């Protein structure tokens, strides 16, 4: 199944979705169109039965250079325009964070501003060896959006986020891996293959258990220990009604590799 947009391409085949930013000639900047189309794509993904993994990639030299400055400069009422753009973009991120299927992100080149949080929302993030990351917002007088202040402090810690958002210092892939912004680094020419490899591993896993884990991790910094444990117990109980739990236990007892179906 193919879905063609102006700034995105979405293909879904055998439970694997490939969501690709395709405005690579301009650095895949975030503006009105990309925000709206990303929202629409996220709804399609969230409504796709049997979806087991999403691979988020970008065409061109850079993954995402952040907000589209040419669009910002042309707006007569930038305040109102930003409200519209963030409404669409934030709706997209909310769906992506809460859907069942895990996300594998592959990042190349420059990743800046809202692009950093977009990349980082992946459950596994692979960065090319030459990639680099810049928070960038305050460099043009903006404050962060795009779930940056939710996702990034949870990954890299509050102190590191404060330093990066105040200095707008560029960090290389090696530092991004060291501080937990990305999961691993791949050689530039091996990035796409590594993303696909990880996606196939995740797609073969117990999708409903992954979905429950994603939900638990969204709550882990806001819930009390008792509330978190209650959700753990409830979601674990739900998994015990699935085919995958029966298969996983049987496979473990038989000392064989499980064949999970995502059901």
Residue by residue, what is the 3-state secondary structure of the chain? CEEECCCEEEEEECCEEEEEECCHHHCCCECHHHHHHHHHHHHHHHCCCCCCEEEEEECCCCCECCECHHHHHHCCCHHHHHHHHHHHHHHHHHHHHHCCCCEEEEECCEEECHHHHHHHCCCEEEEECCCEEECCHHHHCCCCCCCHHHHHHHHHCHHHHHHHHHHCCCEEHHHHHHCCCCCEEECHHHHHHHHHHHHHHHHCCCHHHHHHHHHHHHHCCCCCHHHHHHHHHHHHHHHCCCHHHHHHHHHHHHCCCCCCCCC
In this structure, the answer to whether residues 103 and 154 fall within a common structural domain is yes
In this structure, the answer to whether residues 22 and 126 fall within a common structural domain is yes
Q: What pLDDT was estimated at residue 70?
A: 87
In this structure, the answer to whether residues 224 and 190 fall within a common structural domain is no
In this structure, the answer to whether residues 142 and 87 fall within a common structural domain is yes
Q: What pLDDT was estimated at residue 69?
A: 86
Q: What pLDDT was estimated at residue 111?
A: 97
Assess whether pLDDT exceeds 90 at residue 128: yes
Mean pLDDT of 224-234: 94
What is the per-residue pLDDT across 146-181, written as a single tens digit (0 to 9) for each? 999 999 999 999 999 999 999 999 999 999 999 999
Q: What pLDDT was estimated at residue 147?
A: 93
What is the per-residue pLDDT across 40-93, written as a single tens digit (0 to 9) for each? 999 999 999 999 999 999 999 999 999 888 888 888 898 998 898 899 999 999
Number of domains in the chain: 2
In this structure, the answer to whether residues 108 and 214 fall within a common structural domain is no
Assess whether pLDDT exceeds 90 at residue 143: yes
Assess whether pLDDT exceeds 90 at residue 212: yes
Domain that residue 246 falls in = 207-254
In this structure, the answer to whether residues 184 and 217 fall within a common structural domain is no
Assess whether pLDDT exceeds 90 at residue 97: yes
Mean pLDDT of 90-108: 96
In this structure, the answer to whether residues 116 and 193 fall within a common structural domain is yes
In a domain, 263, yes or no: no
In this structure, the answer to whether residues 109 and 225 fall within a common structural domain is no
What is the per-residue pLDDT across 159-168, written as a single tens digit (0 to 9) for each? 999 999 999 9
Assess whether pLDDT exceeds 90 at residue 132: yes
Assess whether pLDDT exceeds 90 at residue 183: yes
In this structure, the answer to whether residues 189 and 224 fall within a common structural domain is no
Assess whether pLDDT exceeds 90 at residue 1: no
Q: What pLDDT was estimated at residue 3?
A: 87
Q: What pLDDT was estimated at residue 75?
A: 85
In this structure, the answer to whether residues 45 and 136 fall within a common structural domain is yes
Average pLDDT of every residue of the chain: 95
Q: What pLDDT was estimated at residue 184?
A: 98
């Amino acid at each position: 199944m193919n879905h063609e947009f102006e700034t995105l391409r979405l293909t879904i085949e055998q439970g694997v979705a490939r969501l690709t930013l395709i405005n690579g000639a301009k650095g895949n900047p975030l503006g009105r169109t990309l925000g709206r189309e990303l929202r629409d794509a996220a709804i399609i993904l969230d409504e796709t039965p049997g979806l087991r993994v999403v691979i988020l990639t970008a065409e061109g030299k850079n993954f995402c250079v952040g907000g589209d400055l040419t669009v910002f400069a042309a707006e007569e009422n930038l305040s109102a325009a930003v409200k519209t753009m963030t409404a669409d973009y934030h709706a997209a991120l909310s769906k992506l964070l809460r859907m069942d299927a895990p996300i594998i992100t592959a990042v190349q080149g420059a990743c800046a501003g809202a692009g950093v949080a977009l990349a980082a929302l992946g459950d596994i993030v692979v960065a090319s060896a030459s990639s680099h990351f810049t928070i960038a917002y305050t460099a043009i007088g903006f404050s962060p959006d795009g779930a940056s202040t939710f996702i990034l402090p949870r990954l890299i810690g509050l102190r590191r986020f404060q330093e990066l958002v105040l200095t707008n210092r560029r960090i290389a892939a090696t530092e991004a891996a060291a501080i937990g912004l990305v999961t691993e680094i791949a050689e530039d020419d091996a990035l796409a293959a590594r993303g696909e490899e990880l996606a196939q591993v995740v797609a073969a896993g117990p999708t409903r258990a992954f979905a429950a884990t994603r939900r638990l991790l969204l709550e882990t910094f806001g819930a009390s220990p008792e509330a978190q444990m209650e959700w753990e117990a409830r979601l674990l109980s739900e998994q015990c009604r699935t085919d995958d739990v029966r298969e996983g236990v049987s496979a473990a007892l038989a000392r064989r590799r499980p064949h999970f179906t995502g059901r």
